[in-house]
């Protein structure tokens, strides 16, 4: 009985030491690396987590309510951040004519082949990082100038120095 208490006390003290935490962390990393190499490991883990969450949602109504409120709150925060990013993009106005009305402005992709998604639909399913990358590929144009670009009346050239040059019938002098 006495030795068991001593051993438990020693184990508690051992667990508090930084070097033992490091050893345990290294062991867990190696264990997880080996597990990740097993075929289907990620799918099994994902399914286990989903099943556990489903059981918890069905068995505990308070948890379910809090969970859904948290999902709603996070979604709303994400949408606000996306709107802020898009508003910041539009804040400079049209790069050709200087139109400042935000509801008249569009994002025009400089290289259509590099377009991954439409900026207007990004709020539904894209991450903030992917939205920022996609906006980096675009130039802000009003709807009239955007139509002129697609009609071929206005040409946009991206120079190697990062400056954008406009030429054609609708370009400002």
pLDDT band at 165 (very low <50, low <70, confident <90, very high): low
* Number of domains the chain is built from: 2
Q: What is the pLDDT of residue 72?
A: 92
Are 53 and 133 contained in the same domain? yes
pLDDT over threshold 90, residue 101: no
Q: pLDDT digits over 22-42, tens only?
A: 777 777 777 777 766 666 777
pLDDT over threshold 90, residue 149: no
Query: Strands 154-158 and 138-142, how do they pair?
Result: unpaired
Q: CB count, 10 Å around CB of 74?
A: 10
Q: What is the pLDDT of residue 173?
A: 44
Are 49 and 122 contained in the same domain? yes
Q: What is the pLDDT of residue 53?
A: 87
Q: What is the pLDDT of residue 109?
A: 87
Higher local confidence (pLDDT), 12 or 2 = 12
Q: pLDDT digits over 45-71, tens only?
A: 788 888 888 888 888 899 899 999 999
30 is a domain residue:
yes
Q: What are phi and psi of 98, to 5 degrees?
A: 90, 10
The model's pTM:
0.60
Q: Which domain holds residue 94?
A: 39-168
Tell me how far apart the alpha carbons of residues 153 and 96 are, in angstroms, rounded to a whole number.
12
Q: What is the pLDDT of residue 160?
A: 47
Highest mean pLDDT among 125-129, 148-152, 169-173: 148-152
Are 56 and 125 contained in the same domain? yes
Q: Considering the chain, what is the average pLDDT of its residues?
A: 79
173 is a domain residue:
no
69 is a domain residue:
yes
Tell me how far apart the alpha carbons of residues 79 and 139 are, in angstroms, rounded to a whole number.
22
Are 103 and 152 contained in the same domain? yes
Full 3-state SS string of the chain: CHHHHHHHHHHHHHHHCHHHHHHHHHHHHHHHHHHHHCCCHHHHHHHHHHHHHHHHHHHCHHHHHHHHHHHHHHHHHHHHHHHHHHHHHHCCCCCCCCCCCHHHEEEEECCHHHCCCCHHHHHHHCCHHHHHHHHHCEEEEEHHHHHHHHHCCEEEEECCCCCEEEEECCCCC
Mean of the pLDDT values across residues 134-156?
A: 87
């Amino acid at each position: 009985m006495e030795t068991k208490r001593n051993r438990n006390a020693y184990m508690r003290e051992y667990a508090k030491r930084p070097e033992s935490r490091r050893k345990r962390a290294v062991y867990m990393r190696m264990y997880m690396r080996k597990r990740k190499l097993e075929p289907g490991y990620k799918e099994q883990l994902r399914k286990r987590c989903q099943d556990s969450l489903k059981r918890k949602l069905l068995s505990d109504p308070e948890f379910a309510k809090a969970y859904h409120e948290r999902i709603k709150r996070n979604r709303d925060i994400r949408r606000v951040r996306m709107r802020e990013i898009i508003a910041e993009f539009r804040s400079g106005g049209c790069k050709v004519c200087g139109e400042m009305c935000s509801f008249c402005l569009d994002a025009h992709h400089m290289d259509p082949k590099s377009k991954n998604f439409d900026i207007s639909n990004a709020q539904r399913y894209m991450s903030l990082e992917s939205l920022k990358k996609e906006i980096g590929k675009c130039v802000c144009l009003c709807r009239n100038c955007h139509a002129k670009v697609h009609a071929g009346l206005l040409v946009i050239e991206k120079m190697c120095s990062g400056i954008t040059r406009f030429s054609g019938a609708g370009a400002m002098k």
